[in-house]
Amino acid sequence: MADTGFTYSCEQLSNLASTVLDLAAEAGASAAEADVSEGFGETVNVRLGEVETIEYNRDKGLNVTVYFGQRRGHASTSDLSLNALRETVSAACSIARHMAEDDCAGLADAALFARDWPDLDLYHPWRLSVEKATDLARECEQAALDVSPSITNSEGAGVSTVESQFIYANTNGFMGGYPASRHDISCAVIAESASGMQRDYWYDSSRHPGLLPSAADIGRKAGQRTIRRLDARKIKTTRVPVLFEAPMACGLIGHLVSAASGSALYRRSSFLLDMLGKKIAPDWMVIDEDPYLLRAQASTPFDNEGVATQHRRFIDKGVLAGYFLGSYSARKLGMQTTGHAGGNHNLIVESTGQSIDALIAQMDQGLLVTELLGHGINMVTGDYSRGAAGFWVENGQICYPVEEITVAGNLREMFAHMAAIATDRHIAGSRQCGSILIDGMMVGGS
């Protein structure tokens, strides 16, 4: 392909997928689906100015699922030769013949497939030599080190670039795919004072390298975040308002997505069971999903089954307006797929209009959480307890950093008692959200 580093053209990938579907039909499968993809990338990491690792990867692979009625078999291969494709299809068929029937197994409804879609501008190669990547990583790390003499060590800085493409096809008549890219710059450093050492980091990611902040800006932010954590204190156990900084807030929205996802719902292992159409958050809370956002990380015109994605409202004035369902989980629930085989697509959480500084002033006394540790989350009950670090707030001002604490509550209650969402939207992933202020949580300390 012109101007790309791919081994295969889009047409060649399509031909491979068609071949697999034909082989499945010859083997007696009543239906089949195939996903064929390739990707390559480069990552350079430096530490204290010296190159630590240079990684280059190139992968390709094919996944095939066959159906004999409602018995399903799956197999995969990284060898795309014709013989390997035959063996892979044969293996999938053998598995299917030994499986029990599943009433919910099968391809997505053809009436729901995407037919025409726009270019979402997801592919922007970064022709980055190892030398240039090394220079950028060094620049990033040095900017962090230059923030303060108190920064005495580094966990390193890294620059990575990845390009990939795929074709998905099935015997219900769908075939589609596209190339995409992702580029990242990150840095983590260590500062030291008389009270001990602290570490923090920063990173950014984009489909387009020209939309990344400069390496120096990312490094400076990593350094500034590390310095402000020096001389952290412990606090006594108390109940106070808690403000989750934007990257942590995106994680809270991720828990909401997990609880509203089909696999958790049909297994009845979600704290949002039977909550569709019911109020779970304040009246002002709105979360929209935009799968067609140009250059965004989770943009796609169709899901992993070829089902067309749609603009929709996930949370509407505090009401849970939709689930995240693929075809299988939808059938288990007696519903229709929402086009979410593979996950959510660009969830955008509306702010209540205040800056993060305004929310700090609003909570008067409380905790600003900038890091979370551990995985103390029960998705069945919603119980939430995680290690944390951040800053203590008094009289609406940040007073000092804190560490060795836990924040605890229940996710249903936390979402119900959100007080505000700041304007500092974090946009590096599939969920875009500003800092979230929760009215009250238990903060465990000494």
Quick one: pLDDT band at residue 322, thresholds 50, 70, 90? very high
For 88-114, what is the mean pLDDT?
Answer: 96
Q: How much is the pTM?
A: 0.92
Mean pLDDT of 146-153: 97
3-state SS assignment for residue 334:
coil
Torsion region of 404: left, alpha or beta (phi above 0 gives left; psi -120 to 50 gives alpha): left
Distance CA 369, CA 405 (A): 10
73: Cβ contacts below 8 Å, ≥ 6 apart: 65, 66, 91, 92, 93, 94, 95, 96, 97, 98, 99
Instruction: Report residue 10's pLDDT band, with 50, 70 and 90 as the boundaries.
Output: very high
Residue type at position 237:
T
Q: What is the DSSP string of 249-297?
A: HHHHHHHHHHHTBHHHHHTT--TTTT-TTSB-S-TT--EEE-TT-TT-T
pLDDT of residue 2: 42
* Token output for 393: 């707030």
How far CA 193 is from CA of 144, 152, 223, 230, 335, in Å, comes to 17, 10, 14, 7, 58
Tokens of 336: 């229709």
pLDDT at 4: 77
Q: What is the pLDDT of residues 274-308, one digit of tens each?
A: 999 999 999 999 999 999 999 999 999 999 999 99
| Per-residue confidence (pLDDT) for residue 250, from 0 to 100 | 96
CATH number among 2.60.120.10, 3.40.140.10, 3.30.2290.10, 3.40.720.10, domain 10-227? 3.30.2290.10
Measured at the alpha carbon of residue 153, what is the angle toward residues 148 and 154, in degrees to the nearest 5?
105
| Structure-derived torsion over alpha carbons of residues 426, 325, 312, 419, reported in degrees to the nearest 10 | -50
Distance CA 122, CA 2 (A): 17
Give the model confidence (pLDDT) of 394-420 as tens digits.
999 999 999 999 999 999 999 999 999
Beta strand pairing call for 397-410 and 436-444 = antiparallel
pLDDT above 90: residue 121:
yes
Per cent of the chain over pLDDT 70 is 99
Residue 419 CA to its chain's centroid (Å): 25
Q: What is the pLDDT of residues 226-273, one digit of tens each?
A: 999 999 999 999 999 999 999 999 999 999 999 999 999 999 999 999
Q: Where are the domains of the chain?
A: 10-227, 238-444
- Residues 157-188 pLDDT 10s: 999 999 999 999 999 999 999 999 999 999 99
CA distance 35 to 21: 10
Which pLDDT does position 1 carry in this prediction? 39
- Calculate mean pLDDT across residues 201-224: 97
Residues 44-55 pLDDT 10s: 999 999 999 999
Torsion of CA 203, 205, 209, 213, to 10 degrees: -40
Task: Please report, as a single letter, which amino acid is at residue 127.
Answer: R
The answer to whether residue 205 scores a pLDDT higher than 70 is: yes
